[in-house]
């Protein structure tokens, strides 16, 4: 699966409801740090494959989703596990930070 762009709230909701680990990037096309993040996300997609879904949300087109997620600055990356937000990173970070975050949530178990 390629990096998905959420066109509406329903698309994001459906992706989160499928369960598993989902990284959601809240950004905008004009945001310089967001442009730097895109190739990092592509590399993460290649490394993690189907183990992680990566979804981009354009905050200009879907401001209600950004507001619901508490996005105050871009880029904001939120890792969801089984549909629940687990961690939020605000601002651009080195690739190793995203790798570590994903590895952490792929290996941790959800307690029911």
Determine the distance from the C-alpha atom of residue 89 to the mean position of all C-alpha atoms in its chain, rounded to a whole number.
10
Cα–Cα distances in Å, from 47 out to 15, 19, 95? Answer: 20, 20, 12
Beta strands in 28-83 (DSSP E): 52-58, 76-81
Predicted pLDDT at 19: 84
pLDDT at 112 over 70: no
Compute the C-alpha angle 103/106/111, nearest 5°. 130
Catalytic residue among 16, 23, 34, 54: 34
Question: d(Cα 8, Cα 5) in Å, to the nearest integer?
Answer: 9
CATH superfamily of 4-107: Glutaredoxin (3.40.30.10)
Q: What is the pLDDT of residues 37-79, one digit of tens each?
A: 999 999 999 999 989 999 999 999 999 999 999 999 999 999 9
Catalytic residue among 31, 37, 40, 65: 31
What H or E segment, with its residue span, contains residue 4? strand 4-5
Domain ranges (residues) in the chain: 4-107
Q: Is 59 a catalytic residue?
A: no
Count of beta carbons in the 10 Å neighbourhood of residue 1: 10
Q: Is pTM, for the whole model, over 0.75? A: yes
The band of 109, judged by pLDDT with boundaries at 50, 70 and 90, is: low
């Amino acid at each position: 699966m390629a990096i998905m762009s959420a066109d509406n709230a329903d698309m994001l909701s459906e992706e989160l409801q499928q369960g598993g680990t989902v990284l959601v990037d809240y950004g905008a096309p004009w945001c310089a740090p967001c442009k730097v993040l895109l190739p990092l996300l592509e590399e993460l997609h290649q490394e993690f494959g189907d183990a992680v879904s990566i979804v981009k949300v354009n905050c200009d087109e879907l401001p209600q989703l950004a507001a619901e997620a508490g996005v105050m600055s871009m880029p904001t990356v939120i890792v969801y596990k089984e549909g629940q937000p687990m961690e939020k990173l605000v601002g651009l970070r080195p690739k190793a930070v995203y790798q570590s975050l994903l590895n952490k949530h792929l290996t941790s178990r959800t307690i029911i």
